[in-house]
């Protein structure tokens, strides 16, 4: 369908859908969309097309998708204020950590910050620490990439490297999640030419254990600024414990859509399918590989079937994920379904089991 929208208004589009700008000037989180450019809105996502000059769209809506108009921009003023605070920090690279509950727009805010920092010369690294809904790597991983160009979504970026944690929530593996974020952050900081590092964290923020976990991240990564997205001061217990780092809070955007646990699980299934596309069964010799988190493997033969694993090479570069099909302990051979074609030197055992349809099951 065609849709005409006046300047100053915002067209909110829920996925799965595709949007083509036929005329006018439009931006998404600061990224100007060219005429005739098609933007795909993924299932479970909502994109705000803010109209700068009268525009006409062609919108194709998938199942259960929707479109609506807002009278103004859905970007809160507080986002712009936080952006100015980031730009005011002089010592490079500037590290910004984004915190908040799930579905409040951490990825959207991170995209907005990235798009307003890059200009073709400024290099921004994005560290995605959301194990549940990673935009840069597969589920259960901490991943990062760089950009000097604007994007509509963080998932448009590639993946420079990743750390396989093996869970969808840090609740299940706090120490390993902290290790992963610290490892990846350290790798980014060793690279030259990085001006900004945006750390997008997970949504676990409530309760004493969550607060302690997030404080560990602050101590390990030593950000220059921590930005919290909150609705009703739910971040105050956490922020009151941060004394050595500057903090600020911003509002959630109207352009953000909530997702049920079922919807989030479905999005992970789609992501598993993406990273296991054209997967083949490979036989790996366990005696020639480092096996991390081996204690997670069930002792009963056959119970390892379906366990998610992460593969990497001798240079500690993440190669991809796989699904354990069989572990013959006598012959020390692991059969793994994976898209990875090169020989891995390390395998990390996850705490997630997938059925043949890539649905998560209890381990």
Same domain, 56 and 169: no
Has residue 59 been placed in a domain?
Answer: yes
For 231-242, write each residue's pLDDT tens digit.
989 999 999 999
Residues 114-124: tens digit of each pLDDT: 999 998 889 99
The kind and range of the H/E element at 23 are strand 17-28
pLDDT exceeds cutoff 90 at 49: yes
Mean pLDDT of 259-279: 93
Residue 46 sits in the same domain as residue 169: no
Question: What tens digit of pLDDT does each residue of 159-200 get?
Answer: 999 999 999 999 999 999 999 999 999 999 998 889 999 999
User: What pLDDT does residue 161 have?
Assistant: 97
Per-position DSSP letters for 150-162, written without gaps between them: --SSGGGS--SEE
User: What is the residue range of 149's domain?
Assistant: 77-250
Specify whether 124 is located in the same domain as 228. yes
Residue 271 falls inside a structural domain: no
Q: Rounded to two decimals, what is the model's pTM?
A: 0.95
pLDDT tens digits, one per residue of 278-288? 999 999 999 99
Domain identity same for 56 and 25? yes
What residues contact 318, with CB distance under 8 A and at least 6 apart?
A: 137, 141, 143, 159, 161, 162, 163, 164, 310, 311, 312
- Give percent of the chain above pLDDT 90: 90
Scored b (16 or more CB within 10 A) or e, 251-267 reads: bbbbbbbebeeeebeeb
**CATH code of 91's domain:** 3.40.50.300
- Same domain for 132 and 210, yes or no, is yes
The torsion angles phi and psi of 99, rounded to 5 degrees, stand at -130, 160
Place 44 in a pLDDT band, splitting at 50, 70 and 90: confident
Residue 127 pLDDT:
98
The verdict on residue 144 lying in a domain is yes
- Round to whole Å and give the CA distance between 321 and 312: 9
| pLDDT of residue 256 exceeding 90 | no
Amino acid 276: pLDDT:
98
DSSP per residue, 305-320:
TTEEEEEE-TT--EEE
């Amino acid at each position: 369908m065609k849709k005409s929208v006046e300047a100053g208004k915002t067209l909110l589009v829920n996925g799965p859908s595709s949007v083509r700008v036929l005329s006018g000037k439009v931006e998404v989180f600061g990224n100007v969309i060219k005429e005739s450019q098609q933007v795909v809105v993924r299932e479970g996502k909502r994109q705000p097309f803010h109209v700068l000059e009268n525009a006409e769209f062609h919108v194709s809506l998938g199942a259960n998708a929707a479109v609506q108009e807002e009278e103004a921009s859905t970007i809160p003023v507080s986002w712009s204020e936080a952006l100015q605070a980031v730009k005011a920090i002089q010592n490079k690279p500037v590290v910004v950590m984004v915190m908040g509950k799930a579905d409040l727009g951490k990825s959207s805010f991170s995209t907005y910050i990235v798009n307003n920092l890059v200009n073709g010369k400024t290099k921004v690294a994005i560290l995605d620490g959301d194990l549940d809904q990673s935009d840069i790597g597969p589920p259960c991983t901490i991943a990062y990439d760089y950009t000097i160009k604007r994007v509509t979504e963080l998932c448009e970026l590639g993946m420079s490297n990743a750390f396989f944690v093996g869970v969808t929530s840090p609740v299940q593996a706090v120490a390993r999640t902290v290790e992963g974020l610290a490892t990846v952050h350290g790798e980014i900081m060793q690279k030259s030419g990085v001006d900004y590092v945006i750390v997008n964290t997970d949504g676990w923020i409530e309760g004493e254990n969550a607060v302690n976990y997030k404080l560990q991240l602050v101590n390990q990564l030593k950000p220059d600024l921590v930005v919290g997205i909150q609705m009703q001061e739910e971040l105050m217990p956490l922020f009151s414990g941060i004394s050595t780092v500057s903090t600020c809070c911003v509002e959630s955007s109207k352009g953000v859509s909530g997702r049920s646990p079922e919807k989030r699980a479905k999005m992970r299934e789609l992501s598993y399918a993406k990273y296991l596309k054209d997967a083949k069964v490979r036989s790996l010799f366990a005696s020639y590989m480092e096996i991390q988190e081996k204690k997670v493997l069930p002792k009963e033969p056959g119970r390892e079937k379906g366990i998610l694993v992460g593969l990497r090479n001798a240079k500690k570069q993440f190669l991809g994920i796989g699904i354990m099909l069989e572990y013959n302990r006598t012959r020390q051979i692991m059969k793994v379904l994976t898209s990875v074609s090169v020989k891995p030197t390390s395998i990390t055992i996850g705490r997630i089991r997938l059925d043949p349809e890539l649905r998560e099951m209890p381990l």
